[in-house]
């Protein structure tokens, strides 16, 4: 599904909504958010009792260790999104249905080092790290496309002035994750019981050519393992104030 299907209505619809705002409304609200997109801030504008527009930015990062395809990685997870959302309150209350669009910069940067000398299984071959020049795998994972559609439902955005609280469930249609997997250092592979050492940067070495082919296999396995990020679940709690 293309993200354009999930984009907000055209500016002409926004203008139409704005003309129906009542004089008694408290149109502007600000909120602080926390959820699976990270911590964020939000500005919303109430057009009328049925529609309001929200501008939102979220960010969060943390370090974590994880295992993918029997390889242990240490990495940093960076969550960074900015969105424009349109709420429709079909019953003129706090329940809302939401559609929108996010700029999605969620990513993971990770590396694997064979500290225990158990080796990396890439393809059907096990490679060990050369202690003199340790072998490291470096992964940059983009968790979806840079632009992503969004659908959700929730409760919140009070129509009167004062404090407001919100809860939201939704799905960010992020798209398939993309991974750039590279290696550095020197590896050891055993062939017929004999140890063969090679620097992974020496592309003229047939062992390196085989290593790079197996590295592509590992990249494809990683992308398959994290394919669930294509549909990123969004759970958000918020507290704010409408003026």
Any idea how long the chain is? 243
* CA 149/CA 83 separation, integer angstroms: 9
Token reading at 214: 């197996």
Is 26 a residue whose pLDDT tops 80?
Answer: no
Count of CA atoms in the C-beta half-sphere (13 A) of 243: 7
Q: What pLDDT does residue 80 have?
A: 97
* CA 55/CA 86 separation, integer angstroms: 9
Q: What pLDDT does residue 1 have?
A: 41
Domain assignments of the chain as residue spans, ordered by start: 1-59+83-103+146-174+234-243
Q: What is the pLDDT of residues 152-180, one digit of tens each?
A: 999 987 667 889 999 999 999 999 999 99
* CA 112/CA 123 separation, integer angstroms: 16
Q: What pLDDT does residue 18 have?
A: 41
- Could you tell me the pLDDT band of residue 67, with boundaries at 50, 70 and 90? confident
- Cα torsion angle, 99, 141, 229, 1, sign: positive
Span 82-111, average pLDDT: 95
- Could you tell me the pLDDT band of residue 7, with boundaries at 50, 70 and 90? very low
Q: Which architecture characterizes domain 1-59+83-103+146-174+234-243 according to CATH?
A: Beta Barrel (2.40)
Report CA 214 to chain centroid distance, whole Å: 27
Is 228 a residue whose pLDDT tops 90?
Answer: no
């Amino acid at each position: 599904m293309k993200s354009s299907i999930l984009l907000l209505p055209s500016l002409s619809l926004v203008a139409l909504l704005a003309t129906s705002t009542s004089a008694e409304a408290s149109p502007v609200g600000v909120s602080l958010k926390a959820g699976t997109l990270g911590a964020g801030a939000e500005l919303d504008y109430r057009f009328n009792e049925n529609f309001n527009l929200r501008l939102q930015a979220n960010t969060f990062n943390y370090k974590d260790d994880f295992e993918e395809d029997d390889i242990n990685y240490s990495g940093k997870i960076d969550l960074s999104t900015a969105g424009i959302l349109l709420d429709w309150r079909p019953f003129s209350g706090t329940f809302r249905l939401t559609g929108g669009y996010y700029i999605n910069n969620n990513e993971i940067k990770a590396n694997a080092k064979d500290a225990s000398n158990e080796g990396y299984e890439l393809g059907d071959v096990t490679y060990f790290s050369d202690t003199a020049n340790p072998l490291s795998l470096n992964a940059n994972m983009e968790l979806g496309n840079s632009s992503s559609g969004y659908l959700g439902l929730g409760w919140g955005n009070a129509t009167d002035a004062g404090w407001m609280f919100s809860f939201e469930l939704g799905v960010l249609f992020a798209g398939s994750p993309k991974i750039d997997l590279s290696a550095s250092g020197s590896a050891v592979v055993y062939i017929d019981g004999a140890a063969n050492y090679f620097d992974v940067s020496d592309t003229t070495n047939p062992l390196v050519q085989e290593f790079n082919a197996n590295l592509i296999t590992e990249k494809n396995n990683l992308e398959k393992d994290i394919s669930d990020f294509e549909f990123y679940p969004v759970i958000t709690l918020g507290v704010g104030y409408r003026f």
